[in-house]
Amino acid sequence: MEPATSAALLDKLSHEIQDFFDNPTSVSPTVTAAELRQHLSRFTFDQPLEAETVFDEVRQMMRAWNVQISHPRYFGLFNPAPTRPAIVADALTAVYNPQMAAWSHAPAANEIERHTLHHVARKLGLPTETVAANFTSGGSEANHTAVLVALAHHFPQTLEDGLFALSKRPAVYVSELAHNSFDKIVKHVGLGLGALRPVPVDASLRMDVAALKTLLKADEQAGLEPFLVVGTAGVTSTGTIDPLPELAEICRTNGLWFHVDAAWAGAAAFSETLKPALRGIESADSVTVDAHKWFNLTMGAGMFFTPHQESVRAAFNVRADYMPASEADVAVPYLTTLQWSRRFTGLKLFMTLAELGDEAVAAMLDHQAELGHYCRKCLSDNGWIVVNETPLPVVNFTHPAIRSGAVSVETILEKVYAGGDLWISSVTLRGEKAFRFCVTNYKSTTADVDVLMRALNSFVG
């Protein structure tokens, strides 16, 4: 590429970053798969196109035909508007493209990640002097890592002989509202779905401690071998936080591995207001946190933490004579993580924390939590029914007109999406369909919630 062309392309990229950051397009796209495929059929790849032409085409498609999760009135899934330093960090990562597998190939990148992970570990109350931590592609990989390390810790014989070495079937305990990544994980590691033991939730939609105790006892009597309990901090559908201190005590008493899936709510450790909701997380054997959720980073950026360094090494150590040697006192990523070659994921969290500082990050979280409280009040004041309890900005709600059958959640959602300037989702709780409102954008305001309320009120008459 000619220098002039390269410069022009970089100018266009810079302008697009700034323009889209300040002026995201409408939230909901109106396009079919057939229309998209017809549009893309023009790209036959048999002849090269001008770089700026390709850029303009991609820009237009990305703007017009995606749900714009960076919009301040996107109140949907845990998809945040990324901070500016996170966007810059992703660009720098692409420029330098460090090979993270071997510490000796990327000392600066690996130590930046270690420094950042230790800072988050301190906020969580985990022991930094013994913690093993690494960035992952997301929460699913971090949860997968937790199961593998817990298996290595409790059943070291399986590292050589696999699950065939066991006389009893290991069992994993999760809330019935836990993230579905665990369904995939138990299949991937060879345990099978029968090993995943869902625990009922209580009236507050948190894991029922008494039900867990009963299930543990019944499963032991039935010949299963419980080894892992998962507490969720920030359930995807409800935002609720399982009773972490009680779960930690059960695990201590029964010799079980206690994992906390704090993929979303783990960031709350940075807020003095919200941190008490995470009490008990410091007792976990392992923790998942997604930096690309409530730290407002670009995707993907998960984190895994555990104080059990030896179990991590046992789970992932391999012999690869072709890999370069590293310093003796450092953790070598390909020997201590599920991935081998890996993107420099941690830079965007490092740059966000360095540029904004802990107080500004906490302020972003507190602002979004306050918007959640504001939404709850607006709903109650307007005759809607809130059906969940959480200090986090996730609100599940319904309306008497929905419960009477006069209108349906699906019909209202269709109208919301058709308007193009709002996005919320739905969940099914205890057999009832309800709306799910979630704040994931630090640029959202009470005015944006007001727009949602006016629309919802108009749809129920």
Distances (CA, A) of 92 to 51, 87, 129, 348: 20, 9, 30, 9
Q: What is the H or E stretch that residue 290 is in? A: strand 286-290
Q: Which residue spans within 328-419 are E strands per DSSP?
A: 385-386, 394-398
Annotate 51-80 with DSSP letters as a single string: HHHHHHHHHHHHHHSS--TTSTTEESSS-P
Whether CATH 3.90.1150.10 fits 91-356? no
The span from the CA of 43 to the CA of 332, in Å, is 42
- Is residue 114 within 8 A of residue 337, CB to CB? The reply is no
Give me the residue label for tokens 């990640």: 113
What would the two tokens of residue 242 be? Answer: 């399982």
The span from the CA of 209 to the CA of 218, in Å, is 14
- Is residue 232 within 8 A of residue 248, CB to CB? The reply is no
Residue pLDDT tens, the chain, 461 long: 667 778 888 888 888 888 887 777 778 888 889 999 999 999 999 999 988 899 999 999 998 898 888 888 999 888 888 888 999 999 999 999 999 888 888 899 999 999 999 999 999 999 999 999 999 999 999 999 999 999 999 999 999 999 988 999 999 999 999 999 999 999 999 999 999 999 999 999 999 999 999 999 999 999 999 999 999 999 999 999 999 999 999 999 999 999 999 999 999 999 999 999 999 999 999 999 999 999 999 988 999 999 999 999 999 988 887 777 766 677 888 888 989 888 999 999 999 999 999 999 999 999 999 999 999 999 999 999 999 999 999 999 999 999 999 999 999 999 999 888 899 999 999 999 999 999 989 999 999 999 999 999 999 87
The span from the CA of 108 to the CA of 315, in Å, is 26
Instruction: Identify the pLDDT of residue 1.
Output: 60
Instruction: Identify the pLDDT of residue 69.
Output: 86
Instruction: Identify the pLDDT of residue 30.
Output: 81
- Is residue 147 within 8 A of residue 261, CB to CB? The reply is no
The span from the CA of 272 to the CA of 163, in Å, is 44
Domain ranges of the chain: 3-68, 91-356
Instruction: Identify the pLDDT of residue 334.
Output: 84
CA neighbor of 207 nearest in space, from 238, 161, 162:
238
- Is residue 206 within 8 A of residue 198, CB to CB? The reply is no
Cis status, amide bond into 300, omega within 30 of 0:
yes
The span from the CA of 8 to the CA of 461, in Å, is 52
The span from the CA of 323 to the CA of 391, in Å, is 47
The span from the CA of 407 to the CA of 433, in Å, is 12
CA angle 92, 98, 100 (to 5 degrees): 130
Is the alpha carbon torsion for 385, 428, 32, 68 positive or negative? positive
Sheet with 286-290, side-by-side order of all strands: 132-136, 302-306, 286-290, 257-261, 224-232, 169-175, 196-199
